Copies of this chain bind each other. A is one copy, B any other.
Amino acid sequence: MYKEITPNGYGIAIETEEKPLYSAQSEFQKVEILSSKGLGNILTLDGLMMTTVEDEFFYHEMISHIPLCSHPCPERVLVIGGGDGGTVREVLRHKTVKSVELCEIDGLVIEASRKFLPSIAGKLDDERVSIYVEDAIEYIKDKKACYDVVLIDSTDPMGPGEGLFTEEFYTNVKNSLKEGGIIVAQSESPFANPKEMRMMYRLLNKVFKHVKPYAGPIPTYPGGYWSWAFCSETVDTPVIQDTQRAKEIEKKSKLYNTDLHEGVFKVPNFVRNIAQDV
């Protein structure tokens, strides 16, 4: 049985095979693949749930299609973290996209995902993808005005992901955007991690002109509910820019549709309050 319990004393439980399919200590963290009947293979880092084969679509569709459909023509995209490949897979479904860079600090995450999560990682070999096994904090420093969309698909603000939750990092990411560019960052659970989420939005609001939270369910994250921050210097209200492309994405999505695109920004009061530091 895999269990992940937050400091508040609740969380998720999943029946898994006793022996992991894969377990290795990288330079940064413990990388494990567990096998479950109900949710397929599972990736954990330092014992924390990253993704499962059966419910990964919630997270990966939310982090990718909302920003990409809010951009009139996303051509060059950077994914920070996201070594399982799920976000890259969804980004590639947008026909406008000419290149995707994946900057993941831990090569073992990519290796384990390629081997044990092929339905998630399978598009990492696409010719439009370049993989950089590097620290994004360094990688982003000399990138100026080159991306249409940057997706921060990071772990939590502790361990190897910690440096991705700083004002300096967000400023560098902002400077890496082309005119009209969009950043989306995973922004923790409004219910299970409200303190971490509040801290993060305080920083984002300092750096970006427009910061909008959006939210949705993730069955296998503790609290079952997650948020993402939509950040931009130019896009105040994130609406669909290319209806035809959005409709194409909708056709083959489990989650995304053009109504949902509007709906995810209509968040509960307590989520608004966290994001606005009320």
Enumerate chain A interface residues (CB-CB to B < 8 A). Answer: 3, 5-6, 8-15, 36-39, 55, 191-192, 215-221, 223-225, 250, 253-257, 259-260, 262-270, 272
Contacts and interface: CB of A to CB of B under 8 A. Distances in A.
B269 A250 contact: yes
A221 B217 CA distance: 12
19 contacts: A3-B13, A9-B14, A9-B39, A10-B38, A11-B12, A12-B13, A215-B217, A217-B217, A218-B224, A253-B269, A256-B268, A256-B269, A257-B266, A257-B272, A259-B265, A260-B269, A262-B262, A262-B266, A266-B266
Of A10, A11, A256, A264, the most chain B CB neighbours within 10 A belong to A10
Given A13-B13, A263-B265, A263-B266, A38 B224 contact: no
Nearest to A223: B219
Given A5-B15, A191-B219, 7 more contacts: A3-B13, A10-B219, A13-B13, A216-B217, A221-B224, A254-B270, A257-B272
A6 B38 contact: yes
A97 B110 CA distance: 57
Of A266, A267, A270, the most chain B CB neighbours within 10 A belong to A266
A172 to B, nearest CB: 33
Contacts of A267: 259-260, 263
Of A37, A38, A268, the most chain B CB neighbours within 10 A belong to A268
A276 B15 CA distance: 31
A270 to B, nearest CB: 5
